Structure 1
Amino acid sequence: MTHVALPADADGRIDQLIRDSLAPRVEAIDKGLYPGEFMQALGRLGGFGAALPVEAGGLGGDLPAQIDIIAQVARTCGSTSFLVWCQATCAWYLQHSRNPAVKQRYLQAVASGRLLAGTGMSNAVKHLAGIERINLRGHREGEGYRISGALPWVSNLGADHLLIVAAALGDGGYVMFAIPPGAEGLTLRACPTFSGMEGSGTYNVRLKNVYVPPEDVLSDAEHFDAYVQGFKPGFLLMQIGMGAGLVQASLDTIHATNQRLSHVNCYLDDQEDDLQPALQKLLTQTHDLARQGQAAPLLSVLRARALGSELSLRATQSAALHAGAAGYLMSSPAQRRLREALFVAIVTPALKHLRKEIHALEQRQAA
C-alpha cells in the first residue's frame, strides 16, 4: 500500500502556522497556557483529519500522514502535540463508530477543530489490560445509559469541549460514548500542578447520573471488543508522533551545540549518528504498520510504541547533556523536552503497561 500524499500546500501551511502561532507561545504553554487558538487554526488546515476521508471533514490522506503532523507539532512543542493526538484520536474514535448518528453529530466538527475534544480513555485502557479498576459505571435507561463516576485527569478539556469516555455496565460489558459540553451532571475540577504539560487542559472529571442518549453512543456492549480492536492500532501509532517530534528536536539541539562543543560532546552517549538512523527506522516501521490499519499485528504495534518512548528518553537526555549548563535553564527547550519525553513514557499506555502487554502476547505466542 502506498503512502497517500496530502494536498500539496498542507505541510507548508501547517509549518507556517507552527512558526507564527505556536513557537512564540511555547514557554507560556509550558507554564499553563492552553493553545486553543492554535488548535482551532490547525483544525481548519486539516491537522486532525489527515487520515479521514474528505466527506468526513478530513484531508483524504492516511494514518502515516496524521502521525507526521503530530511529529511536526512535537518538534516545536511536545505538550501541544499531545493535544493534537487527543483531538485526532477523538476523530479516529468517531470515524470507527458503527453509529451513524454520533458520527453525523460530532465527526466533522471534531475533525475540523470547530469542536475541541478530550479523550478520557486512560482508565478504561488500563482496566482492559488488567492494571486497575474501571472508574465509570452505568446502567441502561430507556434507549440510553445513565453514568456516574470520576476520572482523575482527562486532557484537552474545557467548558466548551466534547468528552469521550467508556464505562462498565452493571449487566456486563462496556459502553463508549460522548458527553457534550455543559451536560447535566458533568463537573470539571482543576488538577494539582504537574511538572510539565501544564498547558494541556487537564482536569479531574466527575459524572453524576449523566444521561447518555443513543445518538451519543460510539459503541454498545455487543460491539465493544471489536470496536476497541479496530481503533487501538491507530490510537497507539499516533502517539509515536509525539516521541518522534521530540527526537528530531533533540537532534536539532545536538547538531547545533556540536558546532562549538563537539570536541567534548563526542564523549557522550547517543550521538547524532546513533539517533538519526534509530529515528528513521522507527518512523519507517511506524508508517508500515499504520498503512496496515486494523490488520497490523498488535505485538508489532506495541513494540513500536514502546520503542518510541525509549528513544524519546534517550534523545532528550542526550540533547540536554550536549547543551550542558545552558540546557538546564528553565528557558531552554532541552530541559522542557526532557519533561515532555517523560510524559510520552508515562501517558497511557505507559512504558511499563506496554511491556506488560508485550510480555503477555509473547507468552501466548510461545505457548
Structure 2
Amino acid sequence: MLDHAFGQWLDANAEAIDQGQCDPHLVLAQIAESQLLRIGVDPAMGGTGGDVSEAVEAIAAIASRSLAAAFVCWGQRAFIEYLLQSPNRELCKRLMPDLLKGELAGATGLSNAMKFLSGIEALQVRGRLAADGWNLEGRLHWVTNLRKRGFVVAAAIEDDAGGAPFVVAIPSNAPGLERSDDLQLMGLQSSNTAALAFHQVPLARDWLLHDNAREFLPKVRPAFLALQCGMAMGLARRALDEVQEHLQGRGSFLEEARQVLKERLENTVGELKQGLLDGRFQGQPAALFKLRITLAECAADAVQLELQASGGKAYLTAYGEGFARRWRESAFVPIVTPSLVQLRAELQRQAASA
C-alpha cells in the first residue's frame, strides 16, 4: 500500500521522527504526498474512493515503519472523517482540499469527548452564546497534529446555557486560542502533540460540525477507534515479520508462537473490518472496544516475541535501535485515549448494568 519512495523515507527517518529530530511539517507533507489520506474518501470530495477499513490499512502500513508518523496520519484522517460525516457540507467543501493535500493539519481533539460519551469525564471546553456563534473557554490537555504552520481542531463543547453539547472545528488563528510547547513525550516527538487553552475564543456558527454531540459522537466513534487500531495492527505485523527474519526458517516453539499470534491478529483484523462494513459498531460499541483491546495485546505480545527471537542483540545499540523504538511504541498503544484501562472499565460497567 505504501509507494516505494514513501516507504524508503519512513525507513530512513523513523528514528528521527520518534526522537523529534525531524521537522514535523515534513511528516504530514510526506503522508499527503503518498495519497494515503484520500483512501476512503469519495472521489467527488477529492478522494480515491473505497471505505474506512481501507484507510485503517493505510495507517497500519505506515505504523509498520513508524508509529509516530501513523499517529499523525490518524489525527489527520480522523478529522477528515468528521467532516465527511458532518451535515455542514459547506465547511467540508471549504476545508477538505487543503486537508487532503496536507496544507492544513487536522487535529481530532475528541479524545475528551469520547470519554465524556462513556461517562468517564466531563467536557473540558465550554461555550457561551454570542451574536453569531459562541465564545469558548477551557482546555484540551493532549492533542496531536497541532502543526505550527496552521491547523484546525475538532472539540466537543459544553453549552453554558444548558443545551445539548455540540461539536465544532476551531482554526488555529482564532483569537484567544493558545497552543502550548510540544509535550515532552518518551517518543513520537515529531507528531506536533501539545495542549490547547481557550481564552474566550470567538467562533462563528459556520464552524459547527454538529449541533448535538450525543448524536454525532456515536456516529464517528467506530472510525475514530478503528483508525487508531491501525497503529496496533501495523506495529504487530512488523514485529512478527522481525521474528520471522530472526528465526530464518528454524522450527521452534517461537515459530509456533508467531504463527498462533499472527492468526489471532489477522482474525481480529477481519472482525474489525466486517464490523465497520456492516455498521454494527454504532449500536454495539462494546464489540469494538473488545477488538481494540485484543489488537493492543497482539502488538505488545508481538514485540515481546521479537525480543525473545532476537535475544541479546535487541539490547545492543548497533542492532537494536529499531526494536527499542518498537518497544516504546508498544508502550504507547495501550494509553491512547480511550486507554485500555478506560475501555475495560466501561465494559465492566456495561456488564454490571446488564
Query: In the superposition, relative to structure 1, how do residues 59 and 194 fare at CA in structure 2: closer, same or farther (>3 Å)?
Result: same
Match of 1:299 among 264, 286, 291: 286
CA distance in structure 1 between the partners assigned to 2:26 and 2:187 by the alignment: 20
Residue number in structure 1 paired with 2:79: 90
Residues 1:326 and 2:313 are matched in the alignment: yes
Alignment-mate amino acid for residue 203 of structure 1: A
CA distance in structure 1 between the partners assigned to 2:281 and 2:110 by the alignment: 22
Contact 1:229 1:294 in 2 (8 A): no
Normalising by structure 2, what TM-score? 0.92
Residue number in structure 2 paired with 1:165: 155
Query: In the superposition, relative to structure 1, how do residues 214 and 17 fare at CA in structure 2: closer, same or farther (>3 Å)?
Result: farther
Q: In structure 1, the residue corresponding to 2:65 is in which secondary structure?
A: coil
CA distance in structure 1 between the partners assigned to 2:27 and 2:58 by the alignment: 14
Q: In structure 1, the residue corresponding to 2:289 is in which secondary structure?
A: helix
Alignment-mate amino acid for residue 275 of structure 1: L
Residues 1:349 and 2:338 are matched in the alignment: yes
Residue number in structure 2 paired with 1:141: 130
Residue number in structure 1 paired with 2:70: 81
Residue number in structure 2 paired with 1:6: none
CA distance in structure 1 between the partners assigned to 2:96 and 2:5 by the alignment: 23
Contact 1:326 1:332 in 2 (8 A): no
Alpha-carbon deviation of 1:216?
A: 0.9
Residue number in structure 2 paired with 1:29: 17
Q: In structure 1, the residue corresponding to 2:277 is in which secondary structure?
A: helix
Residue number in structure 1 paired with 2:175: 184
Contact 1:87 1:156 in 2 (8 A): yes
Alignment-mate amino acid for residue 168 of structure 1: E
CA distance in structure 1 between the partners assigned to 2:183 and 2:270 by the alignment: 38
Match of 2:49 among 57, 60, 63: 60
Query: In the superposition, relative to structure 1, how do residues 312 and 295 fare at CA in structure 2: closer, same or farther (>3 Å)?
Result: closer
Normalising by structure 1, what TM-score? 0.89
Query: In the superposition, relative to structure 1, how do residues 354 and 34 fare at CA in structure 2: closer, same or farther (>3 Å)?
Result: farther
CA distance in structure 2 between the partners assigned to 1:17 and 1:38 by the alignment: 14
Residues 1:131 and 2:117 are matched in the alignment: no
Contact 2:231 2:333 in 1 (8 A): yes
Q: In structure 1, the residue corresponding to 2:191 is in which secondary structure?
A: coil
Residue number in structure 2 paired with 1:287: 273
Contact 1:34 1:201 in 2 (8 A): no
CA distance in structure 1 between the partners assigned to 2:195 and 2:23 by the alignment: 16
CA distance in structure 2 between the partners assigned to 1:34 and 1:315 by the alignment: 30
CA distance in structure 2 between the partners assigned to 1:112 and 1:292 by the alignment: 30
Alignment-mate amino acid for residue 132 of structure 1: E
Contact 2:114 2:217 in 1 (8 A): no
Contact 2:156 2:213 in 1 (8 A): no
Contact 1:345 1:351 in 2 (8 A): yes
Contact 2:25 2:147 in 1 (8 A): no
Alpha-carbon deviation of 1:269?
A: 9.6
Deviation readout 1:310-358 (Å, 9 max, x if unpaired): 1111111221232222223455211211211221110111101111222
CA distance in structure 1 between the partners assigned to 2:16 and 2:349 by the alignment: 42
Question: Alignment identity in percent?
Answer: 28
Deviation readout 1:155-181 (Å, 9 max, x if unpaired): 111221222212211122312111113
Residue number in structure 2 paired with 1:227: 216
Residues 1:308 and 2:317 are matched in the alignment: no
Residue number in structure 2 paired with 1:19: 7
Report which stretch shifted further, 243-252 or 18-27.
Answer: 18-27
Deviation readout 1:38-64 (Å, 9 max, x if unpaired): 422332443123111011122111111
Count of aligned pairs between the two proteins: 348
Deviation readout 1:1-36 (Å, 9 max, x if unpaired): xxxxxxxxxx3xx33233232210111111113443
RMSD of equivalent CA atoms: 2.1
CA distance in structure 2 between the partners assigned to 1:111 and 1:135 by the alignment: 29
Alignment-mate amino acid for residue 333 of structure 1: G
Contact 1:270 1:315 in 2 (8 A): no
Contact 1:234 1:293 in 2 (8 A): no
Query: In the superposition, relative to structure 1, how do residues 161 and 129 fare at CA in structure 2: closer, same or farther (>3 Å)?
Result: same
Query: In the superposition, relative to structure 1, how do residues 294 and 169 fare at CA in structure 2: closer, same or farther (>3 Å)?
Result: farther
| Structure 2, unpaired ranges of 5+ | none
Query: In the superposition, relative to structure 1, how do residues 270 and 203 fare at CA in structure 2: closer, same or farther (>3 Å)?
Result: farther
CA distance in structure 1 between the partners assigned to 2:324 and 2:193 by the alignment: 21
CA distance in structure 2 between the partners assigned to 1:137 and 1:298 by the alignment: 26
CA distance in structure 2 between the partners assigned to 1:169 and 1:89 by the alignment: 24
Q: In structure 2, the residue corresponding to 1:360 is in which secondary structure?
A: helix
Query: In the superposition, relative to structure 1, how do residues 101 and 214 fare at CA in structure 2: closer, same or farther (>3 Å)?
Result: farther
Contact 2:24 2:147 in 1 (8 A): no
Q: In structure 2, the residue corresponding to 1:332 is in which secondary structure?
A: helix
| Structure 1, unpaired ranges of 5+ | 1-10
Alignment-mate amino acid for residue 215 of structure 1: D
Query: In the superposition, relative to structure 1, how do residues 291 and 248 fare at CA in structure 2: closer, same or farther (>3 Å)?
Result: same
Contact 1:57 1:112 in 2 (8 A): no
Match of 1:210 among 183, 196, 201: 201
Deviation readout 1:101-152 (Å, 9 max, x if unpaired): 2212212322332211111112222233222332211111123111011222
Query: In the superposition, relative to structure 1, how do residues 338 and 357 fare at CA in structure 2: closer, same or farther (>3 Å)?
Result: same
